[in-house]
Amino acid sequence: MGRIAAYATLLYTGDTTDPDRAKFYGDMQETLTRISTHLLFFGLEINRIDDGILDAALAAPELAHYRPWLMDLRKERPYQLDDKIEQLFHEKSVTGRGAFNRLFDETMAGLRFDVDGEELAVEPALNLLVSPDAETRKKGAKAISKTLGENIRTFTLITNTLAKDKEISDRWRGFDDIAASRHLANRVEPEVVNALVASVEEAYPRLSHRYYAMKAKWMGMDKLNYWDRNAPLPESDTKLIAWDNARNIVLDAYGGFAPQMADIARDFFDKKWIDAPVREGKATGAFAHPTVPSAHPYVLLNYQGKTRDVMTLAHELGHGVHQVLAAGQGPLMADTPLTLAETASVFGEMLTFRSLLEGAGDVAERKSMLAGKVEDMLNTVVRQIAFYTFERKVHTARLEGELTSEQIGELWMSVQAESLGPAITFDEGYETYWAYIPHFVHSPFYVYAYAFGDCLVNSLYAVYQETDAGFAEKYFEMLRAGGSKHHSELLAPFGLDASDPAFWQMGLKMIEGMIDELEMLDS
C-alpha cells in the first residue's frame, strides 16, 4: 500500500493543478483508507494483551525482531480508554476539535490583508515582512495586525475551545501535564524537554538579544521594529549557483565527512531521484519522501540557484541518506522518531554550510553567510521555544477559565519581549500575531520539536569537531537504526545524553560562537 500511496503523492506534487493527477491522488486516498480500516484495530488489540502473555510471546525468535515496534506501541497503553469511549471520542472529534480546526483553516484562507488597496491572502502578506524595502515591510505588518485584530474574537474562541477540548481528553486519559500527550507522541520524556527549554531560555541574552542588537546597528537603527527582524541583510548575496555547481558543493561536503555519504547521495543525482525545477502547478517548498523500503526515496525541490536553495538541497539529501540507511529496518520500524527525524537533514546542511563558509571569498561574504545561519537558528531554536512557552502559558491559564483576547495578547507580548530582547520594539498591533500560527491550532505543543532537532545536531556536530576518528561509522550506525531505538540508546555511543542540560548547552554554545565571530568581524 505504501508504494501506491507514495506513487500517487509524488505524481500529484509534480503538478497539483492537473485534474487527472488530482483525481488519481484522491481516489488513492479513499481506497487506501477503506482498505486500512481492516488494520486499524490491530494496535488497540495488541494493547489489550496482558504484559505477561506478550513477554512470553516475545521470547519467540520470529517476534523478537519486532520487539522495538511492539514496545513502542505499548507506551500508549496506559492512556487508552474502553472501546466505547474511544469510539465516542473519535466520532465526536468531527464536530469538536475537528470542526474548530476547520474553522481556523477556513477563516485564515478567507482573510484578506489590504496593502495600498490590494487585497492579499495571508501568505503573500507575510512575505512582505522579508522584503528588502523598509516601507513595504511596515505596510505589510500594519495590514496583518489590522486584519487579525478585526477577526481576533474568532481566533480567541478557537483558542479557548481547543484548549478546553484538550483538557477534557487529557483528564479522561489520565495525562498529568498539559503537554504530556505531545511528549508521548514524540516519544520524548518531559525531563528532556524541560532541560532543552531551560537551556535555551537561559541563553536568550547571549543569543537573540545580542544578535538583534547587532542587526539593528547594521541597519542603522537604534532599535528594530518587529517588522524588521527578518529583513534581508544589506549585504545579502545575489549570485546564482548553477545546478552542477550545487551538486558538487553538496557531494564534496558530504564526501569530506565520509566517502560513503557522498556515494549514497550521488545515486539521487545519477538515478533521477530528484525533481529540481520550478514548474507551474508543482508543490512549493521541498521534501524527501522515503516511499517504501523496497524501493528508494525521492527528493522534490524548487531550485532557483540561491545559497539557500543549495542548503535546502543539502538538507533534503540528508533526509534521503537517512532513509536509504534506515530502509533495512523494514516498513514498521524504518521511520525515525521525531527526536531524531531532523538529525541527518540538519547535519547534512551543517556540513555543507561549513564547507561553503571555508570557501567564502572575503569578509563581507563570510559575515553575510554567518548572519544568515544565525538568523535561521534563532528562528528555529529561540523562536520555537518561546512559542512553546507561550502555549504553556495559554493552556495553563485556560484551566482557570476562559481567556479574553487581551489576556492572550499580553501573554504573547511578554514572551516576545523576553525571548527576542530589548533591541526589538513590539507595539502597534503585534499583540495579535499569535493568531495566524497554525501549529497552535493543529498540533499543540509541537513547536519545540524544531528546536530539539537543531540543537541536537549542533551538539552532535560539536562532538564531531572534537573527535579524531570513528565518528562517521557511529553516525551511520545511528542512522541505520531508523525507528528501532530510543534517543538515549542512539546518543549513548557519542557520550551524549539529552536529559542533561550540559548536552543542550554544548549545542547552544555553537550558535554563540557564530555570534562571537560576527561581533569580531564587525569591529
Q: How many Cα neighbours within 13 Å face the side chain of 178?
A: 20
Nearer to another protein (CB atom), residue 42 or residue 172: 42
Query: At 12, which amino acid appears?
Result: Y
Give the nearer residue to another protein in terms of CB position, either 169 or 379: 379
Of 96 and 305, CB closest to another protein: 305
Distance CA 351, CA 347 (A): 6
CA distance 416 to 424: 9
For residues 45 and 135, which CB has a smaller minimum distance to another protein in the complex? 45
Q: Angle 258-369-461 (CA atoms, 0-180°, nearest 5)? A: 35
The distance of closest approach from Cβ of residue 35 to another protein in the complex, given in angstroms and rounded to an integer, is 5
- Give φ, ψ of 417 to 5 degrees: -60, -45
- Least Å distance, CB 428 to another protein, is 18
- The DSSP code sequence of 483-508 is TSS-HHHHHGGGT--TTSHHHHHHHH
> Which residues is 425 bridged to in the sheet?
225
3-class secondary-structure state, position 216:
helix
**Which string of DSSP letters, residue by residue, matches 335-393?**
SPPHHHHTHHHHHHHHHHHHHHHHT--SHHHHHHHHHHHHHHHHHHTHHHHHHHHHHHH
Which of 79, 269 has the CB closer to another protein?
269
Which grid cell is 154? 474568532
Q: How far is the CB of 190 from another protein (least distance, A)?
A: 23
For residues 261 and 321, the answer to whether their CB atoms sit within 8 Å is yes
Minimum CB separation from another protein for residue 365, in Å?
19
CB of 189 to another protein, least distance (A): 23
| Cβ closest to another protein, residue 6 vs residue 460 | 6
Least gap, CB of 167 to another protein (angstroms): 24
* Cβ distance to another protein smaller for residue 259 or 331: 331
Between 133 and 516, whose beta carbon lies closer to another protein? 133
Instruction: Using the minimum distance from each CB to another protein, give the nearer residue, 57 or 219.
Output: 57
Shortest distance in whole angstroms from residue 492 CB to another protein: 26
> Least distance to another protein from the beta carbon of 303, Å?
6
DSSP state of 299: E
Q: Comparing C-alpha atoms, which of 474, 454, 471 is closest to residue 463?
A: 471
Helix (H) or strand (E) holding 14: helix 2-14
Provide the Cα torsion 290, 291, 293, 297; round to 10°.
Answer: -50
Instruction: Please give the helix or strand (H or E) that residue 115 lies within, else none.
Output: strand 113-115
432, 147 contact by CB (below 8 A):
no
Helix (H, G, I), strand (E, B) or coil at 303: coil
**Least separation in angstroms between CB 420 and another protein:** 12
